[in-house]
Structure 1
Amino acid sequence: MGNLLSKIKQMNSRATSESETLYCVYVAIGQKRSTVAQLVQILSEANALEYSILVAATASDPAPLQFLAPYSGCAMGEYFRDNGMHALIIYDDLSKQAVAYRQMSLLLRRPPGREAFPGDVFYLHSRLLERAAKRSDQTGAGSLTALPVIDVAKSSYDSEFPS
Structure 2
Amino acid sequence: MKKIVITLFLSMLSVMSSASDLGPVEMLDGKVLMLTPYKFKEMSDEQIKAHFGSKSQRPDEVLSNESGDVMLMYSYTQDPISSKYFRYQHRSLSKKVHKGMPPGSKWIRDQVIEQNGNDFIVMEFILPTIGNRMSQHLIVYGASVNERFLTIHFTTSIELADEWLPKGKEMMESIFILK
Q: Decide: shared fold, TM above 0.5.
A: no
Structure number with the bigger relative contact order (C-alpha 8 A, sep ≥ 6) is 1
Bigger Rg, structure 1 or 2: 1
With the length of structure 2 as denominator, give the TM-score of the two structures.
Answer: 0.28
With the length of structure 1 as denominator, give the TM-score of the two structures.
Answer: 0.30
